[in-house]
Amino acid sequence: MNFQGRKIALIGGAGFIGHHLALACRNQGAEVSVIDSLSINSLTSFIASPAEESHRSRSIQMIQERLRLLERSQISLHTVDARDAKILVRTLELIKPDTILFLAGISHAERANKDPRAAFEHGLVTLENTLDYSQRGLAHFVYFSSSMVYGDFPEGGATEDTPCKPVGVYGVLKLAGEKFVKARHESEGLPYTIIRPSALYGERCVSRRVGQVFIESALMGNPVSIKGSGEDRLDFTYIEDLIQGTLLVLSQPRAKNEIFNLTYGESRSIADLAETLKVYFPKTEIQYGPKDFLMPKRGTLHIEKAKSLLGYFPRYPLEVGFQKYIRWYQL
């Protein structure tokens, strides 16, 4: 892939997915700019957070490392709150991107469900502000949605054509975001792609999703706590697979005006994840607690569409990706 001559802006680009993606686009030769407030699941929120000290300082270190990597790759960082339409548009006018990747929001379902207003403002108001700019002849708008738009997965898993029946604020907002993007395509011809990732894990994630919590608990010699019976299944996806898929989306015209599931493509149980962890931390004790009732029943996201249309080929089954992730912690 050669992205020479392209100008890519990432809204929410200092986050977990965003910074990996910004670095990958830069590696392909694009001029890359990140717009991020650094305030949600990021520096200022952790600095102000009452979280346990070890978690707080580890998260701050990881985010500082992201920022160092961005700087070293000559990616410009604009510390801007995308809720502020005027400042956002002024910044985009300065950057003049041909492609926008939209990742901002409260990316954690539990947190979004607890604070619907903040989730609405950071996920949808920011989106609307970005779309207002994007009507000016943008070549490609990529929206990061979520597998949570499906709600309870049907037996056998979800394809992009599975009807969306989200449960809880997070899934509803993600689906609303998709509809906002599509509406701009219908009314203004905005070329878009919607990506539905799920259960990501990998280096420098501070979101405290299950994989991160498991590893950090094991490293500290604490028991690992599973919500529910351990039989719940997720399509665990290593960050490098999502990055590969997104680069394909950015490089192929046939990705435009389409929706793609971009995951590993095979669900695994939380108990499987715990077993994988035990290979490296055999003494770790597993405990079981109550399940979050707003979490839908999930499973496999079928990725045949991305495979056949884009040539997407995920390379990291859980055992391989998780081992890489654990090694990174141990370095």
Ligand X SMILES: NC(=O)c1ccc[n+]([C@@H]2O[C@H](COP(=O)([O-])OP(=O)(O)OC[C@H]3O[C@@H](n4cnc5c(N)ncnc54)[C@H](O)[C@@H]3O)[C@@H](O)[C@H]2O)c1
- Residue among 199 and 273 whose Cβ is closer to ligand X: 199
- Residue among 33 and 126 whose Cβ is closer to ligand X: 126
Q: How far is the CB of 219 from ligand X (least distance, A)?
A: 21
Question: Using CA atoms, how far apart are residues 42 and 206, in angstroms rounded to an integer?
Answer: 8
For 187, residues 6+ apart whose C-beta sits below 8 A from its C-beta are: none
- Residue among 130 and 284 whose Cβ is closer to ligand X: 130
- Residue among 26 and 122 whose Cβ is closer to ligand X: 122
Q: How far is the CB of 38 from ligand X (least distance, A)?
A: 5
In the shown chain, the binding pattern of residues 164 to 203 toward ligand X, with x for contact by CB under 6 A and - for none, equals ---------------------------------xxxx---
- Which tokens go with 122? 């950071």
For 135, residues 6+ apart whose C-beta sits below 8 A from its C-beta are: 184, 188, 190
Query: Cα–chain-centroid distance for residue 264?
Result: 14
In the shown chain, the binding pattern of residues 18 to 37 toward ligand X, with x for contact by CB under 6 A and - for none, equals x-----------------xx
By CB under 6 A, name the one of 144, 192, 322, 325 that touches ligand X.
144
By CB under 6 A, name the one of 16, 153, 238, 322 that touches ligand X.
16
**Residue of 166, 167, 234 whose CA lies nearest to 179:** 166
Contact criterion met (CB below 8 Å) for 39 and 130? no
Interface with ligand X, residue 284, by CB under 6 A: no
Interface with ligand X, residue 39, by CB under 6 A: yes
Q: Which residue has the tokens 């990996």?
A: 20
- For residues 71-95, one letter each, b for 16 or more C-beta atoms within 10 angstroms of the residue's C-beta and e for the rest, the string is eeeebebbebbbbeeeebeebbeeb
Interface with ligand X, residue 76, by CB under 6 A: no
By CB under 6 A, name the one of 22, 25, 30, 82 that touches ligand X.
82
Other beta carbons within 10 angstroms of residue 206's beta carbon come to 21
Interface with ligand X, residue 212, by CB under 6 A: no
Question: Using CA atoms, how far apart are residues 62 and 212, in angstroms rounded to an integer?
Answer: 13
**Residue of 2, 24, 4 whose CA lies nearest to 13:** 24
Strand segments (E) across the chain: 7-11, 31-36, 76-79, 99-102, 140-144, 192-196, 200-201, 224-227, 233-234, 237-238, 258-261, 268-269, 286-289
Interface with ligand X, residue 104, by CB under 6 A: yes
By CB under 6 A, name the one of 15, 171, 202, 299 that touches ligand X.
15
- Residue among 127 and 190 whose Cβ is closer to ligand X: 127
- Which tokens go with 25? 């686009």
Q: How far is the CB of 205 from ligand X (least distance, A)?
A: 7
Contact criterion met (CB below 8 Å) for 65 and 205? no
By CB under 6 A, name the one of 41, 91, 130, 300 that touches ligand X.
41
Interface with ligand X, residue 79, by CB under 6 A: no
Interface with ligand X, residue 314, by CB under 6 A: no
- Which tokens go with 217? 């608990």
Q: How far is the CB of 75 from ligand X (least distance, A)?
A: 14
- Which tokens go with 191? 């070329």
Q: Among 75-83, 129-137, 265-273, 288-296, which window interacts with ligand X (CB under 6 A)?
A: 75-83
Interface with ligand X, residue 142, by CB under 6 A: no
- Residue among 38 and 131 whose Cβ is closer to ligand X: 38
The DSSP bridge pattern shows strands 99-102 and 224-227 to be: unpaired
Residues lying near ligand X in the complex (CB under 6 A) are found at 12, 14-18, 36-42, 81-83, 103-105, 107, 122, 126, 144, 146, 197-200, 207
